[in-house]
Amino acid sequence: MNPYLYHQLPDTMSPPLGPLYASHFVESYGYYGRRPHGTKDWLLIYTVSGEGAFRIDQEVQLSGPGDAVILPPGTPHHYATPEGKTWELQWVHFLPQPEWTRWLQLPRLAGQLIYMRIGDLESRGRIEGAFTRLIADCRSMNKLNEELARIALAEILAILYREHAKSRMNVYDERVEEVLHYFAERLADKHTLADLAAMVSLSESRLGHLFKLQVGKGVMDTLLAMRLQKAAKLLELTGRPIGDIATEVGFESPFYFTRRFRAFFGVSPTAHRKYAQEKWRYDGEP
């Protein structure tokens, strides 16, 4: 048993919400992370070589070369390098863009941990190359480099999704995909569950069941998350008034938007913008 996965050690700091934070570590036994309350953003850790271990509740998942682990917000977790091992890992903290939602529909283990094993060597090389570009761009996070970093992260997530789709063809219902694409293209429109179900020729209950099963959220909760993620990007990249951004992503009331934004991200839109526009690099742990 790895004591660093179980002992009451100091909690690991998380970076502030907003910009992307990424790095490349090579760590021996004694390296650990401990977050009993999870993080407020998403965390992707990719093992380049060696071995790492994750504990979610009482379940332990090992991560070897080519393995990707994604921890959704609020997922309590512990990770560590096993005894006698060295763990080479690439990692990134991020807030998903609305168009990435379908790429995060990946297999989940205990406690909502997403786990992918990439066997294809070409795909591994592309992921590691994209991570290298992502990390380099995060070290100088001006507006252009931030967009380049997002492009590199999008490539990583798309490759993970493609590899899973190759291993399990048609694992996600095409009608769920249709609704997700529809949301991404018409984010500010008014949508009802009845209209969406009719669009894909399903009952409301059946569509809701498919979303819960495959996306992990209800239909309207998914729409809300996509709207808030789009708003977060606009706050980061523009100086537009918060009320205008709220309207663009489909909120009629800026006060309601602020309340939902705070509930989702843990900070107000104003605070999120402040974090995103600060020109500094996080040098902490993943």
Query: At 268, which CATH number?
Result: 1.10.10.60
Which residue shows structure tokens 């529909």?
105
Q: What's the CA gap between 173 and 276, in Å, rounded?
A: 36
Q: For residue 168, what pLDDT is reported? A: 60
pLDDT (tens, 9 = 90+) of the chain, 286 residues, equals: 678 888 788 888 888 777 789 999 999 999 999 999 889 899 999 999 999 999 988 788 899 999 999 999 988 999 999 999 999 999 999 999 888 888 888 888 766 789 998 988 889 999 999 999 999 998 876 888 889 999 999 999 999 998 887 766 545 688 988 898 899 888 899 999 999 999 999 999 999 988 887 777 889 998 998 898 888 888 877 888 999 999 999 999 999 999 999 888 778 899 888 876 664 445 566 7
List the one residue out of 118, 143, 138 whose CA is nearest residue 128. Answer: 118
**Is 22 in the same domain as 161?**
yes
Q: For residue 110, what pLDDT is reported? A: 65
Q: For residue 279, what pLDDT is reported? A: 44
Q: Is residue 130 part of a domain?
A: yes
List the one residue out of 100, 106, 121 whose CA is nearest residue 69. Answer: 106
**Is 163 in the same domain as 216?**
no
**Is 65 in the same domain as 150?**
yes
pTM of the model: 0.66
90 phi and psi angles, rounded to 5 deg = -115, 140
Phi-psi region of 250 (alpha: psi -120 to 50; beta: other; left: phi over 0): left
Q: In sequence order, what are the residues at sequence separation of 6 or more whose Cβ sits closer than 8 angstroms to the Cβ of residue 88?
A: 24, 25, 26, 27, 47, 48, 49, 50
Strand order through the sheet with 67-71: 21-28, 86-94, 42-50, 67-71, 114-117
Q: For residue 278, what pLDDT is reported? A: 61
DSSP H or E stretch at residue 162 = helix 143-167
Q: Is residue 39 part of a domain?
A: yes
Strand order through the sheet with 59-63: 32-35, 77-80, 52-56, 59-63
Tokens of 251: 């909120």
Q: Is residue 282 part of a domain?
A: no
State how far the alpha carbon of 62 is from the alpha carbons of 31, 56, 65, 118, 263, in Å. Answer: 15, 11, 10, 14, 33
**Neighbour-count burial of 212, counting CB atoms closer than 10 A to its CB (0-12 exposed, 13-18 middle, 19+ buried):** middle
Q: Is residue 217 part of a domain?
A: yes
Q: For residue 108, what pLDDT is reported? A: 81
Query: What CATH number corresponds to the domain at position 156?
Result: 2.60.120.280
List the one residue out of 118, 121, 151 whose CA is nearest residue 134. Answer: 151
Q: What's the CA gap between 142 and 139, in Å, rounded?
A: 9
Q: For residue 284, what pLDDT is reported? A: 60
Phi-psi region of 241 (alpha: psi -120 to 50; beta: other; left: phi over 0): beta
Q: For residue 281, what pLDDT is reported? A: 46
Number of domains present in the structure of the chain: 2
**Is 132 in the same domain as 74?**
yes
Q: For residue 159, what pLDDT is reported? A: 95
Contact 35, 76 (CB under 8 A): yes
Q: For residue 276, what pLDDT is reported? A: 65
